[in-house]
Structure 1
Amino acid sequence: MRLSLNVSLSYNDVPLLERPRAAAAAGFEAIEIWWPFSCPDPPRDDIAALASAIRSAGVKLALLNLYGGNLGAGDRGILSHPRSTEHFYANLSAAIRLAEQTGCRTLNALYGNRNMDKTEGASDELALRHLAAAARAAADIGAFVVVESLNSVECPTYPLVTPDAVAALVQRVRGASGAEIGYLCDVYHLACMGLDPASIIRKFGEMIRHIQVADFPGRGIPGSGSIRFAEVTAALKAAEFTGFIGVECRGSEQLSRQALVGLMSLA
């Protein structure tokens, strides 16, 4: 089981550049991270410093989020926002630079909340163009883009809240870009929507390129809520999933990788 620890949600009391080493000390071979800078196009030295910290810790960067706007204020991506096109392309260049320096091969692109000033069709076409551009840029370094479904309870204006919606978008982007793009399957968001994660994995296994786990409710560690993680693990094995499982839950920094593997198999 290949686990990557999300160091944006874990180790918040530790400086960013020290988090990769903290994850390695807990036994993790890989980490993942939301866009770690306050702006879409940070100084090159800041990117180089983070890449150096990741390499020095001996961990892989399994997943990197593209710039999502102000997440704390409720933003959930900029792909579909006309006024953010310049920021999108600047961030794409910066993200590709960080991915190249760390060997990261999976870029997560958050779609963006609905812009009430624009029609849905115009927003969707813009997002399609941006995703196609991101997929082609990622392909140039041997990487690929993923898109995830969130949930309508916590993200009421986010348009991609079901796996079917993401699957339809993935097919459109594949056709438009000719590049690889996949589905990031977050079992917490599925549970928030009343969906059974194991069933979704069985249905969309071919399209899934990355998994994220947290229990529901509360986004706690596996076993703290209602998700049947033994069934999730069995579905992943049946789908012959070989990618990373991202640990994106509260309290994960209190457990070792070995403990989390046990919880995933038994919870």
Structure 2
Amino acid sequence: MIIKTSDGTLRLAANLKFMFTEVPMLDRFSAAASAGFAAVELPQPYAFDPLRLRQRLDAVGLRTVLINTPAGPAGSGTVMGAAFDPEARKEFRDGIDRGLEYATELGSPNLHVMAGLRPAGCDPDGAFACYVANIAWAADRARGRDIRLVLEAINKRDQPAYGLASAEVAAHVAEAVGADVVGVLFDVYHAQVDRGDLLTRYDSLHHLIRHIQIADNPGRAEPGTGEIGYPAVLRQIARSGYEGWIGCEYRPSIDTATSLRWITKIIEERS
């Protein structure tokens, strides 16, 4: 869904984990296309053959703009990623290779490298050093593939043990290991819960932001249902010249199709 405003262009992608859950996963492609989306995020595509997914996407004229690295088994210490766990180096590397394989097959320009939980009892400095070393290794694997690795912080209220503390730390890591292939996934919802000050922080990180995700707070529903000033946030993004996609990673407060009315209320009526 590409929306041209007086401030610039906004490119919205549907996150198929959160949106169109009224239908089974493989039917969400046609639902997203029928709603006007041209692009989707597929956080965990690994239960399906990538060629089958690509066929579904092509059949309805969709492109994939983001996938995540594989998650560990439910209930495991790596269920949110393995990058922070010094004991899970092989799992991390296998996950990077599988993620790059799927990103290539699906044509996704972005692979979100999930940081994962900081292991209980693990020295924080040691876990962070492991993380940086893992991201550097992943950056070397990604170079030359036209795939960017993006790093996302998750707020401490929702996940106190998540390793990556803030978007600013993600930016420091990206610069340290190579901003040519590693960038920041700026999640507006997580940044708001983290400490707010969204416009200032967006401006300071803009040069490293490669992907954006949106949801409101509290509740993580569609923009316009909570406290975030989305007219100002989206205006700032459009004016900044950001050329990437904005993933609608929200839990619709009503059925997905009806929840999309926020686009008219917040963007189109103010253009």
Q: TM-score range by the shorter chain?
A: 0.7 to 0.9
From 51, 55, 58, the equivalent of 2:54 is 51
For residue 97 of structure 1, give the secondary structure of its aligned residue in structure 2: helix
Q: TM-score, normalised by structure 2?
A: 0.86
For residue 157 of structure 2, give the secondary structure of its aligned residue in structure 1: coil
Identical aligned pairs, as a percentage?
28
Q: Kindly provide the CA deviation profile for residues 20-69 of structure 1, in whole angstroms up to 9, marking residues without a partner as x.
A: 2211111100000212336xxxxxx7222222222222111011111132
Partners of 2:122 and 2:75 in 1: CA distance: 23
Letter in 2 for 1:246: G
Q: 2:71–2:81: 8 Å Cα contact kept in structure 1?
A: yes
- The answer to whether 1:243 aligns with 2:244 is yes
- The answer to whether 1:108 aligns with 2:138 is no
- The answer to whether 1:68 aligns with 2:71 is yes
1:4 Cα shift? 0.6
Q: 1:26–1:256: 8 Å Cα contact kept in structure 2?
A: no
- The answer to whether 1:21 aligns with 2:36 is no
Which residue in 1 is equivalent to 2:14? 5
Which residue in 1 is equivalent to 2:7? none
Q: 1:216–1:227: 8 Å Cα contact kept in structure 2?
A: yes
- The answer to whether 1:153 aligns with 2:157 is yes
1:171 Cα shift? 1.7
For residue 23 of structure 1, give the secondary structure of its aligned residue in structure 2: helix
Q: TM-score, normalised by structure 1?
A: 0.87
Which residue in 1 is equivalent to 2:182? 181
Q: 1:26–1:257: 8 Å Cα contact kept in structure 2?
A: no
For residue 18 of structure 1, give the secondary structure of its aligned residue in structure 2: helix
For residue 210 of structure 2, give the secondary structure of its aligned residue in structure 1: strand
Partners of 2:264 and 2:141 in 1: CA distance: 37
Give the gaps of 5 or more residues in structure 2. 1-9
- The answer to whether 1:78 aligns with 2:79 is no
State which drifts further: 102-111 or 256-265.
256-265
Partners of 2:154 and 2:140 in 1: CA distance: 24
Distance change (3 Å), C-alpha of 1:202 and 1:117: same
Letter in 2 for 1:96: L
Distance change (3 Å), C-alpha of 1:148 and 1:229: same
From 115, 118, 122, the equivalent of 1:118 is 122
Distance change (3 Å), C-alpha of 1:260 and 1:242: farther
Which residue in 1 is equivalent to 2:204? 203
Distance change (3 Å), C-alpha of 1:214 and 1:73: farther
Which residue in 1 is equivalent to 2:42? 33
Which residue in 1 is equivalent to 2:136? 132
Partners of 1:2 and 1:257 in 2: CA distance: 17
Distance change (3 Å), C-alpha of 1:138 and 1:54: farther
State which drifts further: 104-113 or 86-95.
86-95
Which residue in 2 is equivalent to 1:194? 195
